[in-house]
Structure 1
Amino acid sequence: MKLNFILRQSDSTSPNLPIILIHGLFGNLDNLGILGRNFQKHHDIIQLDLRNHGLSPHSPEMNYFVMAQDVLELLDQLKMEKMIIIGHSMGGKVAMTMTALIPERIKTLVIIDIAPVVYPLHRHNEIFMALNAVTDAKITQRHMAGKLIRNFVKDENIILFLLKSFHEGIWRFNVPVLWDQYQYIVGWEPIPTWQGPLLFLCGELSHYIKREHREQIVSYFPIARLHVISGCGHSPHAEKPDVVLRSIHRFFEKTYINQFS
């Protein structure tokens, strides 16, 4: 599948490895843009829409292997032999799955607030109810969509995030397929161990990376490191971008030999 993407050329005359930014569920290629704008000083940046999101094609199939394969096809199209990948939430699972496809081509991974585990099946029920309510009401104006969503979702940040993908009465993510394939989105399929350097960034107030997940994380990524971003929820890159950027820059500068602890 040919994904919609933006390639931003580095400001440097001798750029470092390209960085691939992969958004999460209900997102689009703009979501990690604040990171991309910073790293563009020294790296080419690729921002993409995953299948069934943004302006990328729709498909009835939605699992991590096919999403990772989509990204790999884009990297091959762009003739990128080695790269750094940063993924948030669902995009983090796509990034981790890519280590099974091209382990030797990935220099390092940064995974934002997600673990390689199976999550509870119904954690987004209220969001799906809200999205379907907007569609059923045939609302076309964004402010009216927001008003209806507030009957289901109380977190204003989530509401504003969802509305970024609402355009003239249409959700740019494929709601029916995301619902139909949701078991695969919250799920996880085992992958081979990857020995490369990996940083997990976790929101202190989030519940996506828990202490009981650490054993499974290490089984897949033996030299992974974890950094907790204080006072943040599931999207620390949006809540405290400066802190997240400092953490990633420090990670890039280190030798990546510390064990996950």
Structure 2
Amino acid sequence: MSVALNHRISGQGEPLILLHGLFGSLENLGGIARRLEDGWQIHALDERNHGSSPHTDDMDYPAMAEDVVAYLDARGIEKASLLGHSMGGKVAMQVALKHPERVQSLIVADISPVTYKAHHDAILEGMQQMDLRGVKSRTEADARLAEFVEMAGVRQFLLKNLERIPAQEQVDDEVTFRWRLNLPVIDACYGKLAAAPEGQGPFEGPVLFIKGADSAYIQEKHRDTIRTLFPGAELKIIEGTGHWLHAEKPDAFAMLCRRFLEQA
């Protein structure tokens, strides 16, 4: 069953849907939204169990794709372009494979339509084990999360999901912060999120894959799968970037998106 996704709309023009990655929210692609809203109407979405969207007990790509289609239906959008990063890229691919008539064009940022080995176990375990009792600031939260997550940049990204509990909702004076992510369900469904999007394809519309040169998420061995599902796909590589290519070089990333969308 689909859920009504939290969203932010900006700009004017043809609709462009932005879909963030795992542990993210619509703010993650905010820099790209600002760079493209002069030419497109940007619909940045929080996916289920993320950001301010509803929490659900299930989470897989068919369900998350239906959330996007329901969003389009609710706004009377017959066809839109989709831009997804990482997990959001898989959601976007799922929409294109299952509902090709709803997709004008597709941009996939640093992810392939394949199953990956689990590699977020330590993060999920650490976030769930982290003791939030007595935490009064993000600095204190960062120090506690450092026991489980070594890289400071990763911690800062994860801590964007920490929110202060409204006074009227507090049940324990010692707990003033909480994770807005639905961590138990993300953990339980992680195998489904590591899986490939479902659908035999092909999606015949225009598709752009953008790879961070230093990232291993899009590999040569994925080429045949990509070509089978998305025969019209092209690949662009941004040098000097990793998996967070849209944040590391936003101008270069946005320019590639702009050129592609103008021609699609």
- Distance in 2 (alpha carbons) for counterparts of 1:254 and 1:220: 21
Residue 104 of structure 2 is matched in structure 1 by 107
On the 8 A contact 2:211/2:235 being kept in 1, the answer is yes
Shift of 1:9: 3.6
Q: Deviations over 1:149-170 (max 9, x none)?
A: 2222232221111111101221
Establish whether residue 181 from structure 1 lines up as the match of residue 189 from structure 2: yes
Q: Deviations over 1:88-135 (max 9, x none)?
A: 0000000000013321221111100110000002x0122112212324
Query: For 1:205, which of 201, 214, 218 is the aligned residue?
Result: 214
- Distance in 1 (alpha carbons) for counterparts of 2:234 and 2:197: 21
Q: Deviations over 1:151-196 (max 9, x none)?
A: 2223222111111110122111111000000000001243121011
Shift of 1:141: 2.5
Task: Give the 3-state SS of the residue equivalent to 1:111 in structure 2.
Answer: strand
Establish whether residue 46 from structure 1 lines up as the match of residue 43 from structure 2: yes
Task: Give the 3-state SS of the residue equivalent to 2:100 in structure 1.
Answer: coil
Residue 55 of structure 1 is matched in structure 2 by 52
RMSD after superposition: 1.5
- Distance in 1 (alpha carbons) for counterparts of 2:112 and 2:95: 14
Q: Deviations over 1:14-64 (max 9, x none)?
A: x2x111000010001111011111111111111111000011111110000
Task: Give the 3-state SS of the residue equivalent to 1:251 in structure 2.
Answer: helix
Which consecutive residues of structure 2, in runs of 5 or more, have no partner in the other structure?
165-176
Amino acid at match of 1:95: A
Amino acid at match of 2:8: I
Establish whether residue 33 from structure 1 lines up as the match of residue 24 from structure 2: no
- Distance in 2 (alpha carbons) for counterparts of 1:126 and 1:138: 23
On the 8 A contact 2:110/2:209 being kept in 1, the answer is yes
The 3 A distance-change label for structure 1 pair 117 and 140 is: farther
On the 8 A contact 1:92/1:114 being kept in 2, the answer is yes
Establish whether residue 219 from structure 1 lines up as the match of residue 264 from structure 2: no
Task: Give the 3-state SS of the residue equivalent to 1:167 in structure 2.
Answer: strand
TM-score (norm 1): 0.91
Equivalent pairs counted in the alignment come to 249
Task: Give the 3-state SS of the residue equivalent to 2:42 in structure 1.
Answer: strand
- Distance in 2 (alpha carbons) for counterparts of 1:68 and 1:78: 16
Establish whether residue 24 from structure 1 lines up as the match of residue 32 from structure 2: no
Among the aligned pairs, what percent are the same residue?
39
Query: For 2:251, which of 223, 237, 242 is the aligned residue?
Result: 242
Bigger mean CA offset, 131-140 vs 82-91: 131-140
Bigger mean CA offset, 156-165 vs 17-26: 156-165
Q: Deviations over 1:195-247 (max 9, x none)?
A: 11111111111111111111111110011011111111111000110111121
- Distance in 2 (alpha carbons) for counterparts of 1:249 and 1:4: 25
